[in-house]
Amino acid sequence: MLALPNILTVSRILLVPVFALAFVLPGDTARLIAFVVFAIAGASDALDGLAARKLNAGSAFGRMLDPIADKVLVAVALMMLVAEGSIRQFNLTMGVVSLLRLVPALIILTREILVSGLREFLAGAKVSVPVTAVAKFKTAIQMVAIGAMILTPLADKFLPGVGAVSYTAFAYGLLWVAAALTVYTGYVYFRAGLRHLHRWDAP
């Protein structure tokens, strides 16, 4: 796991939140930083494959994580670009509201890509990772939270004043709870996958 190709792959994933943060900040300097970070992350995709071949350092961990890292980087970048219209209206109110909605959405999206890639990789090795009860609960909370977020624009019409504020806070709170459960269940799946990878990489 500490081989150079794997370090480059993990670094690509760690650069994703740096890119996202630079992207939402106002100003040309922040946008340039976002571009440089994305370019470095993109270049690492070619470098980790080259390093794996030149150093003969390929591993099951790298074969699993490399396509996941690519999907996370591209998906987050595309999501940020789609949301740019609202995020670029960055003032103290709109900026905070956008981030409160965007950050848990990015967390959930990243986890779904990670687990999908992990399941696809393990399926090729005929290894089954069962769905846990917590994961099912996470899915239910996630669906309710998304549904609640969809209805937030209607809160001002049907729940004026304090009611609208309370409903919006409830919807955002549910989204963050879903994001927290997403991180936990993603960790559980990833840890289970790593146990199989250790067996495959063992001499």
Kindly give, in sequence order, each residue whose CB lies less than 8 Å from that of residue 115, ignoring residues fewer than 6 positions away.
185, 186, 189, 190
Integer angstrom CA distances of residue 200 from 44, 55, 143, 144: 25, 19, 36, 39
Taking only the tens place, the pLDDT of each residue in 50-79 is 766 666 656 666 666 777 777 787 778 777
Give yes or no for a contact between 122 and 196, defined as CB atoms under 8 angstroms apart: yes
Q: How many of the other CB atoms lie within 10 Å of CB of 74?
A: 15
pLDDT single digits (tens) 74-118: 778 777 776 665 544 555 455 566 667 777 888 888 887 777 777
Q: What is the pTM of this model?
A: 0.60
